[in-house]
Structure 1
Amino acid sequence: MGTPQLSVLLVSWNTREQTRQCLESLAATADPDLDYEVVAVDNGSTDGSADLLADQARVRLIRNSHNTGFAAAVNQAYRRSTGQLVLLLNSDVRFHPGALSRMIGYLRERPDVAGVSPLYLNPDGTFQQHYVQQPSFAATIALVTALRRLPGFRQALHRFQMRGEDFSRPRQLASGSCMLLRRAVLGQQTIFDEAFPVYWNDAVLARQLAQAGHELWMIPDAVVTHTRGASCRLLGPAIRFRHLLGSMVEYLRLTQPRHRMVAFRAALLADHLVKRLLGRPVQLDLADLLAALRGDVGPLPDGDTRDWVVLFSRTRWSVPQHQTVLEQLESGQRLLFVDPPGRRPRWRSEMTPIGSTAWRAVAPTALPLGDWLPPVNWINRRVAAGVLRAWLDRQAGARLLRLDDERARPVLGRLGEDEVLPAGAPRPLERSGRG
């Protein structure tokens, strides 16, 4: 068997439906005479993603027993690939007709260009701003602190995010979610630096290629739909933010002098303490924040990554009364049922599994008579939200908040929820790959 012209590197982690759509669109956009291979790495998925990939004729599958991270999985696939062109492809990308051939044609016409990316659209057909520049120091601070509200930091962040830029013409920039590269400009064994397991690895790659004199371009006549949100969404907010921040610290070590690292850490700590003093939610507890500021991103989760439907109810859990709630859950969801606060103070919390699809949470009750006195109820609900968030931060999966009790509104925004569901039945959310 000869060497294929193109190697597609695909990483899978619990994005079965998106992976299927991605592969179908890839097959549809590829020219009939294009000889290509797909080298896929499944990072220990539990949703059947690996079996789906194993059934695809063009796919050479590597099964990992656990989640090794995006960068390491891409490098695994790269070492098994042989094509002279290498396509980095997220599983939440779907090609429009002719997109891949236009990207390949651009590299043929421009031998001075090292890589090319397409134009991104949202699932509703609108333009998706999925491009960034190498960040300035002010932009990194604005990205992760409330200083983004100040004019100078806000402008730096907008420049980094390329807001208001013209993407109707080819631009010298690229995105790692879908990037076609020449193998000749890459290393022999690795593409990404594995010190950046999930975030910032594509920024480091772009920086390395630029330093070597290689150009990366975006062309608007090659179009893809990008669901965005990624497998990263399944990490949960705290794990996701720790990876983002910890990798950012490593990126700053590569690009900034030592005194700016001190200033960056001081800004993050000050931001954290002010939010605590004002009673605002924080994305990490102090221990995890300090670890991230050392560049420690922590472990990646394995096992169950189903979405959490967090239900605040008017009544305490009972199997006969709430069986219909369990029946309404989708296959990609699990329930965290939260009992209302009691009338008497209670300082302990309990998390009890209910079969394989649900947990019952009994949160602390800080003050008595909260069901009669609205200010006391507000305090009790906020205390409960803090305890529940600390527990959820140790679990994988997105958080979908549903309030069946109007008195539970004080918890809004306190759980790091991805979405607030309507008061009716839980509804499924579409999942996506890294991005």
Structure 2
Amino acid sequence: MDLSVVIVNYQTFELTKNTINSIFEYDYPFTYEILVVDNASGDDSLDRLKEYFSDKVTFIASKDNNGFAAGNNQALKIAKGKYVLLLNSDTIVWENTLENIYHYMEKHTDVGACGCRVILENGELDKACKRSFPNVKNSFFRLFHIPTNSKDNDYNLDNLPDDGIYEIDCLTGAFMFIRSDALSKAGLLDETFFMYGEDIDLCYRIKKSGWKIIYYGESRITHLKGASSKKQKSKLIYEFYRAMYIYYKKHHAEESLFIVNWIVYLGIAVLCILKLFLNIFKKKD
């Protein structure tokens, strides 16, 4: 098997169906399998997907929803591909995207993971598809919306062309085309992260294992961002800031002064509380 495509479904029958169909729409010069993990949806989406795709897709029914990382890991443990693709259930794969990245990975054996240009529904770039690793400085600028002209502090790499091909630090978990050998060395997704942050953490470990991470901006997907997560806004806000805390503590706390760590943790907590408070007064969709 050349490629294993891993998709996590959570109450998104129509979106997941469209994502899978966007893959089936084209022919490929490689073999592939599609593995769908249902993260204890609690609705009829899994049964409907099974009926719709019959024996074309391998389905895994999770008894509990232990998060996005845990859901992906269930499929990664049985994936047969030389490469694995982590693909969100709310994406549409464009023509030639998988083929182009597959050929690029075949030619560049030092590349551990590759991403593509991710386009939002409104046509804008999803800036999460090409990033630097977060650190105290660039996170401060980003969280407080402070503009910076310094390349070292440019978390979203706005200075680099959207249609280019180049090495970066971090991809988005919406589309991560990973060499299985690199995943074996780096390890599976960290299930401490429930949602958010697991993609950054995995990229960090892949690069630390000696592999390159490439942004392939000549190929694209569409990301209907947030479509599977509108039902639990307060929970998602909490998990977003919790992921910041986990990532910082795991990768930066030991090398930083106690006072710096205290300021970072306090800042994350204050921002989380503020966002949760403001969310109370927002109108429901």
Please give the alpha-carbon distance, in whole angstroms, between the structure 2 residues aligned to 1:63 and 1:283.
Answer: 33
- Counterparts of residues 17-416 of structure 1 (less than 5 Å): 17-31=14-28, 33-55=29-51, 56=53, 57-130=55-128, 131-144=130-143, 148-149=144-145, 159-173=154-168, 174-187=171-184, 191-236=188-233, 238-253=234-249, 254-256=251-253, 257=256, 258-268=258-268, 282-284=274-276, 389=280, 414-415=281-282
SS at match of 1:51: helix
SS at match of 2:113: strand
The aligned counterpart of 1:332 is: none
Alpha-carbon distance between aligned partners in 2 of 1:105 and 1:26, rounded to the nearest angstrom: 17
Does the aligned pair in 1 maintain the 2:36–2:75 contact within 8 Å?
yes
Structure 2 unpaired stretches of 5+: none
Cα distance between partner residues in 2 of 1:132 and 1:106: 20
Once the two structures are superposed, what CA deviation does each residue of 1:153-205 show, in whole Å capped at 9, x if it has no partner? x9799711223431221021332211111111113895201111211111111
Q: Indicate conservation of the 8 Å contact 2:185/2:209, yes or no.
A: no
Partner-residue secondary structure (3-state), 1:232: coil
1:312 alignment counterpart? none
* Cα separation, 1, equivalents of 2:118 and 2:33: 23
Residues 235-291 of structure 1, C-alpha deviations (whole Å, 9 max, x = no match): 21x21111111121111112232432201133346668xxxxxxxx93336xxxxxx
Q: Partners in 2 of 1:189 and 1:135 — Cα distance?
A: 19
Q: Supply the RMSD in Å over aligned alpha carbons.
A: 2.7
- Distance across 2 between alignment mates of 1:269 and 1:10: 32
C-alpha spacing 1:44/1:23, structure 2 compared with 1 (3 Å): same
Q: What number of residue pairs does the alignment pair up?
A: 276
Tell me: CA distance 1:135–1:81, structure 2 relative to 1, closer, same or farther (3 Å): same
Corresponding residue SS for 1:80: coil
Contact 2:137 2:153 (C-alpha < 8 Å) held by counterparts: no
Task: Decide whether the 8 Å contact of 2:111 with 2:211 is kept in 1.
Answer: yes
| Residues 69, 198 of structure 2: 8 Å contact kept | yes
Q: Which has the higher contact order (CA 8 A, sep 6+)?
A: 2
The 1:95–1:149 alpha-carbon spacing in structure 2 relative to 1, beyond 3 Å, is closer
CA contact (8 A) 2:86 2:176 kept: yes
TM-score for the superposition, normalised by structure 1: 0.58
User: Are residues 196 and 59 of structure 1, via their aligned partners in 2, closer, same or farther at CA, if it must alter by over 3 Å?
Assistant: same
Residues 1:19 and 1:166: Cα distance change in structure 2 (over 3 Å): same
The residue type equivalent to 2:70 in the other structure is A
Distance in 2 separating the partners of 1:122 and 1:150: 23
Report if the CA contact (8 A) 1:29-1:101 is conserved.
no
Q: TM-score, normalization: structure 2?
A: 0.86
- Structure number with larger C-alpha Rg: 1
Q: Which blocks of at least 5 consecutive residues in structure 1 are unaligned?
A: 273-280, 286-385, 390-413, 420-435
Identity %: 22
Structure 2 vs 1, CA of residues 10 and 249 (structure 1 numbering), >3 Å: closer, same or farther?
Answer: same
